[in-house]
Amino acid sequence: MGIFDWKHWLVLLLVALLVFGSKRVKHLGSDLGEAIKGFRRSVNAEDEPTAAQKLAGEETVAEPRRLQESARQQA
C-alpha cells in the first residue's frame, strides 16, 4: 500500500503521458539516463589518480593527508 503500490505508479505514468506526451517522456528518460552515466564517469574519474600522480607514485588520498600534516607543523 501507500506510494509504492503499482496502481499509484500506473496512474502517475498515465498523467505524465497526458500532460507531456509520449515523445517528451521518452526523451526525458533517455536524458536522465545520460545524466546518470555522466555522473558515474565523473565520480570514477575523481577516484583514479591522474597521469602525473601515477608517474610520481602518489595517490589522490595522499594529498589531503599531506595538507593536514603541513597544517600541524605550522601550528
pLDDT per residue over 8-46, tens digit each? 889 988 998 898 888 887 788 889 899 999 998 888 876
Full residue range of the structural domain in which residue 43 is found = 22-74
- The pLDDT, as a whole number, for residue 45 is 74
pTM: predicted TM-score of the whole model, two decimal places: 0.40
Contact between 26 and 20 under an 8 Å Cβ cutoff? The reply is no
d(CA 42, CA 19): 33
Say which amino acid occupies 50. T
Give a yes or no: residue 2 inside a domain: no
Q: What is the pLDDT of residues 39-66, one digit of tens each?
A: 988 888 766 666 666 666 655 555 566 6
Residue 1 lies in a domain: no
When divided into structural domains, the chain yields a total of: 1
Q: Is 11 part of any domain?
A: no
Domain-located, residue 37: yes
Say what the pLDDT of residue 67 is: 67
- Is the pLDDT reported for residue 3 higher than 80? no
Would residue 40 count as lying in a domain?
A: yes
DSSP characters over 12-74 = HHHHHHHHH-HHHHHHHHHHHHHHHHHHHHHHHHHHSPPHHHHHHT--TTHHHHHHHHHHHHH
> Is 42 within the bounds of a domain?
yes
